[in-house]
Amino acid sequence: MKTFGLFLLGIKEYLILSLLIVISLILIFSNDNSQVRFLRAVAVGFVGTIQSTVSAVPNVFEIEKENEFLREKNIELSNEVSALKEARLENLRLTKILGLKERNISGVVIAKIVNKSLIQARNTITLNVGEADSIKVNMPVITDDGLVGRIVSTSSHYSIAQILYNRSLSISVKVQRSRVDGILNYDGAGNLVITNVPKSADVKTGDIIITSQYSNYFPAGVPVGTVVEEGNLDNLFKKVIINPLVVFSGLEEVFVLRHLPEMERLDLETLYFKK
């Protein structure tokens, strides 16, 4: 009790001031004098103006909370847009697959690329299909655009394919227009070069190159690329450089053809050239 009394004694000035303010307000509002009424009106208007101004000031905490909510929604919508874009691209790829089947190319296995190299002398791609999917060594790999390469190794659920940019891969090709034959190789410096083309052969820039019927590993007529440069290599042969029709940098899915070389022919040619 003594403590409370000391507390009141310490704030007696504030208590007296508050009491006087209350009494003043009571006297003002109970007085009907015109001057007092004017002061009351001014006071009420002033308080109303202050209240309107304060209410117009935005709540900083509410704005921060709303901004955080909008950021989260923006991230969610961005992810949804990205997913829709991927779905659209996949739909386009599947449409191409259907188009490939409509061209009566049978025995096609769809595969996704899970790894690839493009900057080495012997570049390869790793596919998510293998022996369990009836994939075997020497099967060709293509896309709807053209030739990709050839399977060289398999496991139960994966396989590795040499691509055109591999110095170990040689392909018998021909010019679609003039039927000139040659052998396609990668020179290890970024160029796909057709060799064994006679100097007098009819080869022009822009010609389409396809696989030849002389190849035992690839079906005849598969598009390979277009001629971008042709010139004399020496007195006997031309140097023909092509651009592949397949864009390897953006390649994600391929088709493996269930096409294998004729073993009798392969054994005979291997035995003969070993002599």
The predicted model scores a pTM of: 0.63
pLDDT at 99 over 80: no
| pLDDT value, residue 74 | 73
**Average pLDDT, whole number, for the chain?**
81
Each residue of 9-28: pLDDT tens digit?
Answer: 666 676 676 766 666 666 65
Residue 114 CA to residue 84 CA, distance in Å, equals: 22
pLDDT band per the 50, 70, 90 thresholds, residue 69: confident
pLDDT at 123 over 50: yes
Q: Where are the alpha helices (DSSP H) in the chain?
A: 2-10, 12-30, 34-56, 60-102, 263-273
Each residue of 138-173: pLDDT tens digit?
Answer: 999 999 889 999 999 999 999 999 999 999 999 999
| pLDDT value, residue 261 | 87
Q: Convert 98-136 to b/e letters by CB count within 10 Å (16 or more is b).
A: eebeeeeeeeebbbebeebeeeeeebbbbbebbeebebe
| Identity at 14, one-letter amino acid code | Y
Contact 244, 164 (CB under 8 A): yes
| Ramachandran angles phi, psi of 32, nearest 5° | -100, 15
Q: What ranges do the domains of the chain cover?
A: 2-56, 66-104, 108-262
Overall fold of domain 108-262: Thrombin, subunit H (2.40.10)
Share of the chain above pLDDT 70, in %: 67
pLDDT at 104 over 60: no
| Identity at 139, one-letter amino acid code | M
